[in-house]
Structure 1
Amino acid sequence: MDVFTLIAFASTCFLIFLKASTAIDSISPSEPLPHGKTLVSNDGSFELGFFRPGSSGNRYLGIWYKNIPVGTVVWVANRVNPINDSSGMLMVTTTGDLQLLSQNITVVWSANSTKAAQNPILQLLNSGNLVLIDGRDGNSGAYLWQSFDYPSDTLLPGMKLGWDLRTGLDRRLLAWKNSDDPSPGDFTWEIELQGNPEAVLWKGSQKYFRSGPWNGIGFSGAPYLGPDNLVFSYEFVSNEEEVYYMFSLKNKSLLSRIVLNQTDYTRQRYTWSEETRTWKLLTFVPNEYCDKYGLCGTNGNCDSTQLPACQCLKGFKPKSPGGWSSGDWSQGCVRNKPLNCQAGDGFIQFGTLKLPDATHSWVNKTMSLKECRGKCLQNCSCMAYTSLDIRGRGSGCVIWFGDLVDIRQFQFGGQDLFIRMSALELGYGKKQVVIIVISVMLTGMVVIGLLCYIWIKRRRKQGGGENEEMELPIFDLTTIVKATDNFSSDNMLGQGGFGPVYKMLIYEYMPNKSLDYFIFDQTKKALIDWQRRMHITGGIARGLLYLHQDSRLRIIHRDLKASNVLLDKDMNPKISDFGLARMFLGDQTEARTKRVVGTYGYMSPEYAVDGHFSIKSDVFSFGVIVLEIISGKKNRGFHHPDHNHNLLGHVWRLWMEERALEVMDTMLGDSYTVSKVLRCIHVALLCVQKRPEDRPDMSSVVLMLGSENPLPQPKLPGFYVERNLPKEEVSSSPIKCVSVNEVTISKLQGR
């Protein structure tokens, strides 16, 4: 039995013991809380009373969830001084102090109020916070004392983890020693105060795991935990008065908690499943090899996708080559070429990183990134810099001094870091820099001039037209003929909406072709079972999340479809064909075009009809793809003898009739899990809702696909009816050119 099973068992025992106890709603000097009575919150969510953990004979005063069958303690008062008999009484003194007595005389725990009170009252709030108030103040929120300031091993929604700098109060979690003993162990979670604060897990006196600094969106060491989701919201405050992290629940009916587990030294987030009547583990850290603090030593970079996982940063080499090759990376890496501050050092940009340990860092909240670079160059001890806040175009400045420790490489997410390098490592000196800059500027001017000339000349030939920006590069015929060996069929790989694809015109060859090659073929679809289909679905979701949120510029694909999802030799998906993609700058979230491009069957309603597109347009396309993956059928061209709906309408109809499993591809046999299938269908229907504001963003989609939290009910999907339009209707439809083989189509404008 693990520690949580033991805790659950023990808690159940003491809850049964307290069934006959009397519940009260407050404690005052005239009415203490003796053994046999409990204090209950107004909504009945939490309960305060005496309990015995596990097989221990000791008794403690604690708070637990009241209305769930698995007893779960979230706070303990007398962790260090248990009561070893049946006595015990919690009292509020007339001056507003709390005292826990044994044998009615010995004080085993006490808490002092911040100021004197004439009418002190102790109450348990619906949040699980035990508060001492002055009855004269009512419910003003002015607490004389609160348990949320002195957490045990559990962080609840609305509870602050961090510092009150005005009083020096450090709110941190300390794990239970074991299931029988709630006294503090050696596993701690706290906010470390420094130039750039971050959350740190300690194992004894050694750093065990750190979150990475907060970058305005999240912790740089947790890129998959996006701020915009349907379950949680996060807050990190760092000012002259407070530094703290806090999470809240968007759905107040949910139960969720973060707890430290000393048995396996992990920080775990649980949510309560009403369906299974158990706590479900949602996330935990550390959860993989590269989470271990400082695994690769100084100036090393841990990448869990590589073997070995530890790599020296570019410009560095192992300090101990023999130890490094044998798997001992503790000595880290040293520079290939030493820095020379007077000779013109520069920087190399590294992307998608967990930022280094911020112990030796400096922060300025008002500097731009350019000013930050200059500040770092002026100080010969500065080793790296980046933006403090990456929202929008970025703001603020963080610089690091000395060796860089505990860097980790992510595939997407993370943050950019600019690391100082010598001019010799960069391959140029000051004079070369000037020459290169001038050369690049001149070349750029020539190229821009040529492109403008070609564009103007082409526009004149076409008789003018609307002022649309040029979205694709222009190649002359001679270049294309040479690149394709005079359009040789031997060089052609396939054909898309813009024409044939040739080997000299692609950047990476995908041996397993595209997703539609498998899921829409009656023979080949048998090669991808449920697990592989879900692997592909998750890969597409994470790829879109990178485009929408984690890349430097927000990218809207605008033509996401099964044929544009390529598969490598291991069936890993890669989103392709960015010929129609648009980039958003700064805080831009949506745009409108007069030239609608995309593929009918995958386009969202607001885009196809009005030309409005945003990240929610791609979300709609993703939802269509998920339903196609599950069913093995195309959305457009779907036929059913009982109705004229397309695939979206068919799934919606089955969903409303609680027969959603009937949409499953029969080739999957029994390789799937019913709950997983229903969840995927549920998420897909949320993505294809008619109104873009109702659809989740991709960070929420990734979270929903990977968890078991309750989901909102989907609304009517967009474009859910398929009609066989006669020829005269096609010309008046929003899409002026439609192709049944799903090539890219455009809304043509007269010139």
Structure 2
Amino acid sequence: MTIGLNHSTGLNHFMTSWKSGNDLGIGNYSFKIDPSGFPQVFLYKNLAKVWRAGLWTGQRLSGMPEVTHAYICNASFVNDDEEISFQMGTTNNSIILRVVVNETGFAQRYTWNPRDHRWIQIWSAPEEDCDKYGYCGPNSNCDKTQMYSDKFICSCLPGFEPKSPEAWFLRDGSAGCIQKPNASVCESGEGFVKVEHVKGYASAYYEMNGGTGCLTWHGEMVDIRTYTYAGQDFYVRVDAVDLARYRKNGGHNSKKLMMVAIVVVFVALICMAASAFYLRVKKRGRNSPSLSFIAPSTHFEESLHEKSAELLPLFDLETIAATTNNFSADNKLGQGGFGHVYKGSLKGMEVAIKRLSKSSGQGIEEFKNEITLIAKLQHRNLVRILGCCIEKEEKMLIYEYLPNKSLDSFIFDERKRLLLDWRRRYEIICGIARGIVYLHHDSRLRIIHRDLKASNVLLDAEMNPKISDFGMARIFGGDQVGADTKHVVGTYGYMAPEYAMQGHFSIKSDVYSFGVLLLEIVTGRRNAGSHIESPTLSLIGHVWDQWTNDKAIEVIDSKLEDSYPIAEVLRCIQIGLVCVQDGATDRPKMSEVVAMLGKEAFLPSPKQPAFIIKKANQGDGTRCSEGIASINEMTLTMPHGR
């Protein structure tokens, strides 16, 4: 494969996508070289840059660390008076390589497996937020390792600060960073700070230092990201104050001391929080097995208003009514068991406004629960809550607006499911799993969601998943991992057996729900409902039957066609079955699930799942003795969009 520009002939080689999987016309995406400045390879959507392959390092493009001379592929770059070109080949003539730009906006590389007669995907871009061009804006750095914590993946370069602190706090880094005010860089003790393992770039003037392999930039730095091992080093010029701060106590030692200080402060804060939590619980008594912060109050409205003001920005009813056009039907996004959701705009940002139904007595507790929970949570795979409104009889929550709505509107729709190729589905699965790990293990308090389902996973503009609707969630403290309740809440098809039948919920209840959701994403089918080709009444039963008969490949969504790595998909099916095992103790923790998805942990063989209910009429005319149990005092929601 060769792309590039021939100066003599004017011929420009580049790749374009099809319009769709069935339309071979010229599509919106192209893969080509930008010859201006220091030439680089870009993936474009029309004229907009989507992904950048980075600078040529002599062995590879810095944004493609997977391409080395020692692996399947090799690469070369030419930049002389005759041509500017990038070439990719194979290390062995027997290897057949295929590079494509597909209609969904990905550049992908495949090799041919002659034994199985199929193409195997070995590379795809962009794969994550940090791959997206300019995701963190100018003069900032995107570090994907932060996505596994509650930290923002964007950070300003040394000597810079967020251009819009408010947007930065809300995890929107698109405005980037600007140089700190009053910075002095004119022979006043200024110097350079080293930034390691990055994909560097500039949108302004550059100089090539002949013979040294170095580039010098002047202007804003755009599309910088950190790699764990690959990438290049560059130096940012800072003033004397910042330079002294970075040099204090000498390089790595200062970093270690800083880390120690952070850990000490963090532990102290935990101890203080734990002490306060213990005293608070002690005052309330020890009768409730669930250490939820939600408690009845004789002055409910006053306490609710105080709680909201303490945790979230408050908006007045007049402002909310104006931004939703007085809650008009045209602004309505959907509805759920506790009210309606409307689209609006506050402070120039699109938002989703959840309006609690006045007739929902149970919903008031859920509303207060969401305020208590979500305001304390910060993770890229959880929906962000931006404020609330409590006025007169109105109670509303303001969330970030997610344009692609809920996951169920995609995976259960025959047409829209075509937009979810395997790579996108896999990223959605992993994102949901990371969000649950944060709730169970990494947040300050252990949180059990209790209503994980496809309609409670929302998708942002880039199809990143965000878990929503914490009205039924419960908080635990200390080492507590479960509790019992007489009031079972949840959604048919997603509830673990021990919860549905006995009222016992735990972190393993969420694991079960995740397993159901994973299997729905892989198959494109709802768990609830009969399957014609299977003698069982659920998707879980159907997948289990096919798995035990070595036919698991037949449950994979046909909309994926053959564009997926079969081993990875089968691994996901096995993980899903491991998560929905009948015994809660047999199910893994979500941290173990994430390791399994990353192929970093042993994957056990699944035992029979729960709720394998046979259809009443069998082919031999007999009736199955199994039935569906009737459960009293249960609140169920149907698994449809809210």
| TM-score in terms of structure 1 length | 0.40
Structure number, greater radius of gyration:
1
| TM-score in terms of structure 2 length | 0.46
